[in-house]
């Protein structure tokens, strides 16, 4: 009976995935690698914009312009964000990315007229100086969270979850915890650092409302606040893979 079952292939996984699982189970290892993902991912050429379907159809195409300029935060913020395109750069932590990469992302975002986001670990001077529009993330870990940096940002994003790992926190390997990263996070150098999956100071929507009010008062109601939630369905996608996530501008 056992030998018969062992010869059967899985209906949900091909032989390549089964070999990977068995190898990881036998040796206790899993792959941690850069250079992108191993499977086909959506490309910018796959994006389709149907702007007219969201409101109304244009009356005369040669008289009405179709523009990509986007304005965010006009409801409450006294200093809303104006972007040239409706595509932004999501948050990636300092530590996971180097200061040079953070600066490069800021320059690229500024060149195309969009925003970039700090991510876990706080704000670096490189990304602030190179980014015309910078969004500051408030994450469950609070690593590197600095009220002075919040005031220097152009918007605030409250992270409740992310599509790459819904319901789970992140981990930054100790080999990436150099002295600067450790100082910003107030944690030991060279030690794996895990990020919490829940915020320590709220348990429900009422507490989230209070937190939003605190951040608004912190910035004198100048900066807008957004909430970033994970998608409802579990995802097995890695951090290097693309998954659109719902955003609410508050």
Give residue 60's pLDDT band: very low, low, confident or very high (50, 70, 90): low
**pLDDT (tens digit, 9 = 90+) per residue, 154-184?**
999 888 876 656 666 778 888 889 999 999 9
Asked whether residue 241 carries a pLDDT value surpassing 80, the answer given is no
The residue count for the chain: 250
Asked whether residue 120 carries a pLDDT value surpassing 90, the answer given is no
The CATH number for 153's domain is 3.20.20.70
CA angle 179, 181, 186 (to 5 degrees): 90
Query: Quick check: is 162 in a domain?
Result: yes
C-alpha distance from residue 156 to each of 13, 108, 150, 200 (Å): 41, 20, 7, 18
Query: Residues 93-115: what's their mean pLDDT?
Result: 94
Query: Quick check: is 64 in a domain?
Result: no
**pLDDT (tens digit, 9 = 90+) per residue, 181-239?**
999 998 899 998 888 888 888 888 888 888 888 888 888 877 666 666 554 333 333 33
Write phi, then psi, for 159 (nearest 5 degrees). Answer: -90, 120
Could you tell me the residue range of the domain that residue 103 belongs to? Answer: 69-249
Do 163 and 245 form a contact (C-beta atoms < 8 A)?
A: yes
Give the total number of structural domains in the chain: 1
Query: Quick check: is 22 in a domain?
Result: no
CA distance 166 to 103: 28
CA angle 23, 26, 30 (to 5 degrees): 55
Query: Quick check: is 63 in a domain?
Result: no
Query: Quick check: is 24 in a domain?
Result: no
DSSP secondary structure string, 214-231?
HHHHHTTT-SEEEEE---
Query: Quick check: is 210 in a domain?
Result: yes
Q: Beta strands 134-138 and 155-159: pairing type?
A: parallel
Query: Quick check: is 18 in a domain?
Result: no
SS3 61: coil
Query: Quick check: is 171 in a domain?
Result: yes
């Amino acid at each position: 009976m056992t030998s018969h079952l062992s010869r059967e292939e899985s209906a949900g996984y091909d032989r390549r995935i089964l070999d990977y699982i068995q190898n990881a189970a036998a040796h206790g290892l899993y792959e941690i690698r850069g250079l992108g993902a191993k499977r086909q991912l959506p490309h910018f050429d796959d994006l389709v914009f149907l702007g007219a379907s969201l409101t109304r159809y244009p009356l005369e195409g040669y008289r009405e312009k179709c523009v990509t300029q986007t304005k965010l935060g006009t409801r409450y913020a006294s200093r809303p964000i104006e972007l040239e395109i409706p595509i932004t750069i999501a948050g990636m932590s300092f530590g996971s990315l180097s200061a040079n990469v953070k600066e490069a992302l800021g320059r690229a975002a500024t060149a195309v007229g969009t925003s970039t986001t700090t991510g876990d670990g706080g704000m670096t001077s490189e990304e602030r100086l190179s980014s015309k529009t910078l969004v500051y993330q408030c994450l469950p870990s609070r690593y590197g969270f600095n009220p002075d940096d919040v005031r220097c940002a152009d918007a605030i994003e409250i992270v409740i979850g992310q599509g790459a790992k819904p319901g789970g926190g992140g981990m930054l390997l100790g080999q990436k915890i150099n002295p600067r990263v450790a100082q910003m996070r107030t944690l030991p150098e060279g030690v794996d650092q895990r990020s919490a999956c829940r915020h320590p100071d709220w348990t429900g929507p009422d507490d989230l409302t209070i937190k939003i009010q605190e951040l608004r008062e912190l910035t004198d109601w100048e900066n807008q606040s957004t909430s970033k939630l994970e998608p409802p369905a579990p995802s097995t996608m890695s951090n290097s893979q693309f998954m659109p996530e719902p955003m609410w501008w508050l």
